[in-house]
Amino acid sequence: MPQKLNSITTLKKLWPFIKPFKKALFVAVFGLLLNAATDATLISLTKPLLDNGLMDKNYSLLILIAITIVGLILLRGLSNYISTYCLSWLSGKVVTKFRQMIFHHLIKSPISFHDKQSIGDLVSVITFNTQMLSKASSDALIILIREITYAVGLCIVMLYGSWKLASVLIILVPLIIFIAQFIAKKFRHTIASMQAGMGQITVASDEMLKGHKEVLIFNAKEYEKRNFNIITDKVRSGMLKIEIVSRLSTPLIQLIATTGLGFILYLVASQNLDITPGSFTVVFSAMVAVMRPLRELTSLHVELQKGAVACESLFELLNSPLEHDNGTIVVDRVKGNIEFKNVTYTYPTRNTPALNNFCLKIDAGQTIALVGRSGAGKSTIASLLPRFYDISKGEILIDSINIQQYTLKSLRKQIGYVSQNVHLFNGTIAENIAYGEKELHSEDDILRAAKQANAIEFINKLEHGINTEIGDNGILLSGGQRQRIAIARVLLRDNPILIFDEATSALDNESEKLIQKALEVLQKNRTSIIIAHRLSTIEKADRILVIDDGKVIEDGNHEALIKLNGIYAQMHKMQFNS
């Protein structure tokens, strides 16, 4: 559960992010103070304008006051512009800093963290919550500085006009504060609920867009519409509740203030006070004007609650665990000897181990194939080697060194990985093949890798060749084409260890044969781990391991396992007799 933050704690947590830009903050605060002071001064001029200027027909004073008013209006506009600009610049910097930190944090987060998180919720934190924090913080600062200064200035103006009349407002202040605190308490749960709802909207939208074909083929359009309507109606209801409670404060404050004004008029009408027209006007005008800062101050708690709720989610995410990267060994190129020694691993969402006391030794340059039923532990073996997950027991060694002793960057530089579920990025074919290392490879290098992956044939048929945009996750390419781009991406890097997790699953028979030839060339002098359901693709492997319940139950080459007439031989018969 995230730590519940109050307004003071929120400000303390935010200060390190604001501190580098404190000059802009101080300028903004000065502008807000100046803006509020000019507003209060303009009202205070009513007294000399009426009593000394108009009543005494002092035209020189009237001209002086007119010039002063014009100067104050100019100063007011300038201070408002400066404070608004500085706050916008500051909030933009803070939002950008938060978004960059969260993005960088998510990049460094372990796969196990992402397995448990919804993409929509994470996107909502990066976009909506950071923006809500920025807006709430800047709005709260404006209210806190400008409106309080304005209210204090108006109180001084009222005391200057008539301290007896001003005392009426002072009596009403505790009641107004009580209303503001009461309203603020009603907001926190609703704001948190609305924030969660925004995440659900992002999730629902993301799932519908990514699974649009499934929505159509399963006739689930009405189901998705109903689900989305329920979520959006819930968010709308929460926002309406916030508006209702928030807007309720305005008439309450106005009613209280109007009661005070009515009482002042009664005192004047009953002639209990000896007051000049200028003094009465300045007090009356200040009391009317003070309704605005009082109304805004009631929303101060609301804005701070919005900021606190957003801040909680942001810091909860930033406090989530990162990948452990305590290794110190950096190596240019390993030989490729791999050993799993008594490795046990259990996924956080499962009770039984995916691998249980698993042992496997692979010599450098060997091609190892892993076969077995789904859920037997094959992909887990492939995921543990690049440390997508960290084991709970045992050791995994590369060249007799525990993989945790390598830096993550150095370790993963040794491994080329192609999974069954290929992900391509929105960009060109060239950008995807050279992903992460674009500046290190020439166009000739990229074309060579594409040719080795037998992708060049379809690439050359495209209007822009390797510079063709392929859309979100390569949606403009077929499954086989996407797979060949992913294989070319690995070929370009020339890694000493290769992992192919169902790498040819999306290919037709003709493409599969072409890729097999490319892989056979690629696997020379490299350690290769191939996970496959199609046994025809692994017959030439040096060793074939049958995995079941996280253990090796058969180990040998194709001919030896066929002679053994065990599980592999049965699997082979089933595939080739079907």
Q: Per-domain residue ranges for the chain?
A: 7-318, 338-577
- State the pTM of this model: 0.74
For the ranges 184-193, 363-372, 377-386, the lowest mean pLDDT is seen at 184-193
Amino acid code (one letter) for 338: I
Q: For 39-65, how does the pLDDT look when each residue is reduced to its tens digit (9 = 90+)?
A: 888 888 888 888 777 777 787 888 898
pLDDT at 133: 79
Is residue 12 pLDDT above 50, yes or no?
yes
Give Cβ neighbours of residue 183 (< 8 Å, ≥ 6 apart): 245, 246, 248, 249, 298, 301, 302
Q: For 404-428, how does the pLDDT look when each residue is reduced to its tens digit (9 = 90+)?
A: 999 999 999 999 888 877 888 888 9
CATH number attached to the domain at 7-318? 1.20.1560.10
Round to whole Å and give the CA distance between 450 and 265: 87
Instruction: Report the share of the chain in percent with pLDDT over 90.
Output: 21
Cα Rg of the chain (Å, integer): 35
Q: For 429-439, how does the pLDDT look when each residue is reduced to its tens digit (9 = 90+)?
A: 999 999 888 88
Amino acid code (one letter) for 446: I
Round to whole Å and give the CA distance between 342 and 339: 10
Could you tell me the pLDDT band of residue 394, with boundaries at 50, 70 and 90? very high
Could you tell me the pLDDT band of residue 577, with boundaries at 50, 70 and 90? low
CA distance from start to end of the chain = 53
Look at the block and give the residue holding tokens 């460094």: 108
pLDDT at 184: 58
Q: For 88-133, how does the pLDDT look when each residue is reduced to its tens digit (9 = 90+)?
A: 888 888 888 888 888 888 888 888 888 888 777 788 788 878 877 7
Is residue 155 pLDDT above 90, yes or no?
no
Is residue 1 pLDDT above 50, yes or no?
no
Q: In the predicted model, what is the mean pLDDT of residues 530-556?
A: 88
Is residue 397 pLDDT above 80, yes or no?
yes
Query: What are phi and psi for residue 539, nearest 5 degrees?
Result: -60, -25
Pairing of strands 338-345, 393-398: antiparallel
Q: In the predicted model, what is the mean pLDDT of residues 358-377?
A: 90
- The superfamily (CATH) of domain 338-577 is P-loop containing nucleotide triphosphate hydrolases (3.40.50.300)
For the ranges 28-37, 296-305, 315-324, the lowest mean pLDDT is seen at 296-305
pLDDT at 447: 92
Q: For 301-356, how does the pLDDT look when each residue is reduced to its tens digit (9 = 90+)?
A: 667 777 777 788 888 888 888 888 989 999 999 999 999 999 999 988 788 889 98
Could you tell me the pLDDT band of residue 2, with boundaries at 50, 70 and 90? very low
Is residue 172 pLDDT above 80, yes or no?
no
Could you count the other beta carbons within 10 Å of the beta carbon of residue 36? Answer: 24
Count of residues making up the chain: 578
Could you tell me the pLDDT band of residue 11, with boundaries at 50, 70 and 90? low
Amino acid code (one letter) for 329: I
Query: What are phi and psi for residue 317, nearest 5 degrees?
Result: -65, -45
More confident residue, 337 or 516: 337
pLDDT at 385: 94
Computed over every residue of the chain, the mean pLDDT equals 81
Q: How far is CA 223 from CA 226, 229, 230, 480, in A?
A: 5, 10, 11, 32
What secondary structure does DSSP assign to 514-577, as a single string? HHHHHHHHHTTTSEEEEE-S-GGGSTT-SEEEEEETTEEEEEE-HHHHHHHTSHHHHHHHHHHH
Round to whole Å and give the CA distance between 484 and 491: 10
Is residue 550 pLDDT above 60, yes or no?
yes
Instruction: Report the share of the chain in percent with pLDDT over 70.
Output: 82
Round to whole Å and give the CA distance between 52 and 388: 81
Amino acid code (one letter) for 12: K
The tally of CA atoms less than 13 A away on the side-chain side of residue 245 is 21
> Which strand ranges, in their side-by-side order, compose the sheet holding 497-501?
415-418, 497-501, 527-531, 367-371, 543-548, 551-556
Could you tell me the pLDDT band of residue 218, with boundaries at 50, 70 and 90? low
Q: In the predicted model, what is the mean pLDDT of residues 362-385?
A: 90
Round to whole Å and give the CA distance between 199 and 70: 49
Question: Which of 1-10, 139-148, 260-269, 365-374 has the highest average model confidence (pLDDT)?
Answer: 365-374
Are the CB atoms for 567 and 549 separated by under 8 Å? no
pLDDT at 124: 77
pLDDT at 158: 78
**509-533: b (≥16 Cβ within 10 Å) or e:** eebbebbbebbeebbeebbbbbbbb
Is residue 244 pLDDT above 70, yes or no?
no
Look at the block and give the residue holding tokens 């060749």: 465
The DSSP element (H or E) to which 282 belongs, if any, is: helix 277-289
More confident residue, 574 or 218: 574
Give Cβ neighbours of residue 417 (< 8 Å, ≥ 6 apart): 382, 386, 490, 499, 501
Q: In the predicted model, what is the mean pLDDT of residues 442-455?
A: 88
Nearest Cα to Cα of residue 133 among 317, 409, 285: 317
Q: In the predicted model, what is the mean pLDDT of residues 394-398?
A: 95
Round to whole Å and give the CA distance between 21 and 15: 10
